[in-house]
């Protein structure tokens, strides 16, 4: 396993009384979550071998090895599921996993440091980079568009940004 794990879904509780769980997938292809097994918990200490049994409203019903009862399935409600980064498909040059962006240094087009990416958010209208600027107590939300972020260089660990006027003031 690599050192990088990426969140791919969550357990939403029991499905029925035979130990199946309800899975919410965060994958671009929602059903692909079943192909990334084994998955791990957020702390990495628990491994889940997952088998999708069928599609259901808002997700999938699945079996997890060792979970046999509704009570065991209910106990897992809210557990986030992580996959090893190496198990996920490679992306085209203009697409990125959120985990790959977090921690990158953000520079303006003149080479001045704007801050560091703390998180990637999406509230339905597109991705936003949450940038912690040096000297600011609050973070800045930078729209993650080609206009505002023309260059992402994962190898160099940096993002070149052309933010809207006044955003980092």
- Domain 5-87 belongs in CATH node 2.40.30.60: yes
DSSP string, 49-85: -EEEEEEETTEEEEEETT--SHHHHHHTTT-EEEEEG
Which of 39, 58, 59, 35 minimizes the C-alpha distance to 47? 39
| Domain spans of the chain, in order of start | 5-87, 98-161
Secondary element (H or E) of residue 5: strand 5-15
Superfamily of domain 98-161 in CATH is PRC-barrel domain (2.30.30.240)
Q: Do domains 5-87 and 98-161 have the same CATH topology?
A: no
Along the 169 residues of the chain, how does pLDDT read in single tens digits?
A: 446 888 999 999 999 999 999 999 998 889 999 999 899 999 989 999 999 999 999 899 999 999 999 999 999 999 999 999 888 888 888 888 888 899 999 999 999 999 999 999 988 788 999 999 988 888 999 999 999 999 999 999 999 999 999 888 7
């Amino acid at each position: 396993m690599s050192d990088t794990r990426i969140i791919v879904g969550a357990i939403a509780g029991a499905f029925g009384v035979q130990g199946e769980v309800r899975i919410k997938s965060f994958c671009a292809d929602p059903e692909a979550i079943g192909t990334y097994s084994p998955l791990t918990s957020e702390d990495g200490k628990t491994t889940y071998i997952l088998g999708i049994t069928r599609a259901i409203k808002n997700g999938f019903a699945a079996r997890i090895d060792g979970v046999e009862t509704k009570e065991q399935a209910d106990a897992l409600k809210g557990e986030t599921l992580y996959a090893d980064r190496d198990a996920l498909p490679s992306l085209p040059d203009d697409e990125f996993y959120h985990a790959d962006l977090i921690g990158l240094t953000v520079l303006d087009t003149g080479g001045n440091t704007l801050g560091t990416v703390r998180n990637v958010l999406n509230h339905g209208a597109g991705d936003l980079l949450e940038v912690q600027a040096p000297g600011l107590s609050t973070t800045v939300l930078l729209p993650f568009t080609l206009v505002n972020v023309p260059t992402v260089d994962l190898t160099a660990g940096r993002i070149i940004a052309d933010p809207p006027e006044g955003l980092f003031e």
